[in-house]
Structure 1
Amino acid sequence: MHSRLPKLPDGRSSGIRIRRTMRWDRLALLTIAAFIAVMGFHTLEQFFVHDTYAFISPESEAENHAPMIADYAAKYGIQDYTRWLVAIVDVESGGQGEDVMQSSESLGLSPNSLSTPESIDQGCSYFSSLLQKSAALGTDFDSVLQAYNYGSGYLDYVAAHGGVHTQELAETFAKEQAEGKKKTYMNPVAVKANGGWRYDYGNMFYVTLVHNAVTEE
């Protein structure tokens, strides 16, 4: 024998209200899911395309930091490289977040440990040290750009392999450091080059990305 749903005061079955409530709950869940999907798409787009820690929006704000970058570049005598430093900010963070030059790790700190002035100060200081080491080793400027991402050891690697950065050297270095481990990387540069991956160490396309950022200024 089936039990009947209780009647509401107006005589309508409470099942109608339950079904309507479920319908509204389902609609609310679908709305939330759609919102998460859209936000998730942008988050994934930012991760795969920009591959940075602090990037928040597809719109770069790197140029907004140009005056501060110029000041700190002058502090270290590398003011002639200001446009390259702005491009590094563009690639590293899109000019957003605090550690815009992602330079905390060059101090042995965890990512995003520095304020914006501290990040730019350290970024310029580190870049200056790379220029000096490159000059001593006789390596080219692109090796300095890649070393900002890989670490100064890359300059030694380039010096031991002809002194000139190439994409092949960047990939070989990353492959050795990552022990061959790869990761998905859907940046258009990577997609065009190999279908969308890079070795799980730094970014082997870094020089191309920085050059592209300079060209777009």
Structure 2
Amino acid sequence: MKVMRLKILLLAWGLGFLALFGLLAFVAIFISNEEDSTGSDGLIGDGGSISVSADVLKHQPMVEKYAKEYGISEYVSTLLAIIQVESGGKLSDVMQSSESLGLPPNSLDTEASIQQGTKYFADLVRSAEASGVDGNAVTQAYNYGGAFIDYVAKRGKQYSFELAQSFAKERSGGSKVTYTNPIAVKKNGGWRYLYGNMFYVDLVSQYFTSPQFDDEIVQIVMDEALKYEGFPYVFGGDNPSTSFDCSGLTQWSYRKAGINLPRTAQQQYDVTEHISLSEAKPGDLVFFHSTYNSGTYVTHVGIYVGNNRMYNAGDPIGYADLTTAYWQKHLIGAGRIKQ
């Protein structure tokens, strides 16, 4: 879910977590998590690299099996990150999903835990899609329960830490508990409300890492663009204060690397060297037609990141799979910026 990447400043805590569970090292893996919605306004899955322990990684085949069964293959890395948070891959009930069945904690064996945890997460994804709620709310709801989806839906449909905090406050009656996790220390001075874990999105997100590119300019562009993953699409938006539309995001991100693009998708198409998608490299732009009635041929643009994937201002901002029927129907091709 969006969102959801390694917080560099918290890496030391992550290593400490490993030591607590007796883990010797993290294993960096790449899992292709691609959008499987039919349009640019669907719930976007997470993407990029994820650092999890070897004990968690060994559960990947079973996670993939049940993610496929329940139709959420694009969330495999999120599920693995949840395992890292819940058990470090060490306990039998690796996803701590017994309670979602009304059972006492640690009642399930490993496969039953993964099956139930994945099914529960899939149910939350469906609920979020129906309510128009973003992916981070789904991740928090894995800890809080499905009522959090409705809570966010009634308050702007976009997850925020403030919403997670207010939900916990209401459910706990304002009761607090000391909590020494560095995330809690950083955000709340070392306490949280006595209901669930209002830092759950941060705990899961810290295991995600930004994709790395060989080209320095592309890395600068993506480092900037990824700051806004999970932000809503805003027509006419061209800066972090307003959020972004598609060409506003590309213009803003490339400007950080010293490249000035014109404002609209059509104008950006006009100033690039037109190439086929098969020739595209990370950092090229990808263009689409007829995604809405704008009076121009080119109506949408994204940043190509390799492996038939792009990063774009959908709703919310995030990754998308260019091989899906929707994008193939509207694809024009790629464009290389002339320098």
Please tell me the TM-score bracket, short chain as reference. 0.7 to 0.9
Task: Give SS of 2:59's match.
Answer: helix
2:127 is aligned with what amino acid? K
Whole-angstrom distance in 2 between the partners of 1:192 and 1:164: 22
Q: Name 1:57's counterpart in structure 2.
A: 21
Higher share of residues assigned helix: 1
Q: Does 1:196 align with 2:187?
A: no
Q: Name 1:172's counterpart in structure 2.
A: 166
Q: Contact (CA 8 Å) 1:56, 1:96: kept in 2 or not?
A: no
Selected match of 1:94 from 79, 88, 94: 88
Q: Deviations 1:168-214 (Å, cap 9, x if unpaired)?
A: 00000000001111112111111111221111111000001111122
Whole-angstrom distance in 2 between the partners of 1:58 and 1:209: 19
2:191 is aligned with what amino acid? W
Q: Contact (CA 8 Å) 1:56, 1:97: kept in 2 or not?
A: no
After superposition, the Cα gap between the structure-2 partners of 1:58 and 1:205, relative to the gap in structure 1 and judged at 3 Å, is farther
1:176 is aligned with what amino acid? E
Q: Name 2:308's counterpart in structure 1.
A: none
Question: Identity over the aligned pairs, expressed in percent?
Answer: 53
Task: Give SS of 2:77's match.
Answer: helix
Structure 2 unaligned spans of 5+:
1-12, 24-52, 212-339
Task: Give SS of 1:101's match.
Answer: coil
If the length of structure 1 is used for normalisation, what is the TM-score? 0.72
Q: Contact (CA 8 Å) 1:147, 1:155: kept in 2 or not?
A: yes
Q: Cα distance, 1:63 vs. partner? A: 1.7
Q: Does 1:181 align with 2:175?
A: yes
Superposed, 1:197-216 pairs within 5 Å as 197-215=191-209
Selected match of 1:74 from 68, 71, 84: 68
1:171 is aligned with what amino acid? Q
If the length of structure 2 is used for normalisation, what is the TM-score? 0.47
Task: Give SS of 2:65's match.
Answer: helix
Q: Does 1:124 align with 2:139?
A: no
Selected match of 1:113 from 107, 111, 115: 107
Structure 1 unaligned spans of 5+:
1-45
RMSD of aligned residue pairs (Cα, Å): 2.0
Task: Give SS of 2:156's match.
Answer: coil
Task: Give SS of 2:185's match.
Answer: helix
Higher share of residues assigned strand: 2
- Whose radius of gyration is greater, 1 or 2? 1
Whole-angstrom distance in 1 between the partners of 2:170 and 2:67: 33
Q: Cα distance, 1:215 vs. partner? A: 2.8
Specify which structure has the bigger relative contact order, considering alpha-carbon pairs within 8 angstroms and separated by 6 or more residues.
2
Whole-angstrom distance in 2 between the partners of 1:101 and 1:216: 25
Task: Give SS of 1:154's match.
Answer: helix
Q: Name 1:139's counterpart in structure 2.
A: 133
Whole-angstrom distance in 2 between the partners of 1:177 and 1:86: 28
Whole-angstrom distance in 2 between the partners of 1:191 and 1:162: 27
Whole-angstrom distance in 1 between the partners of 2:121 and 2:133: 14
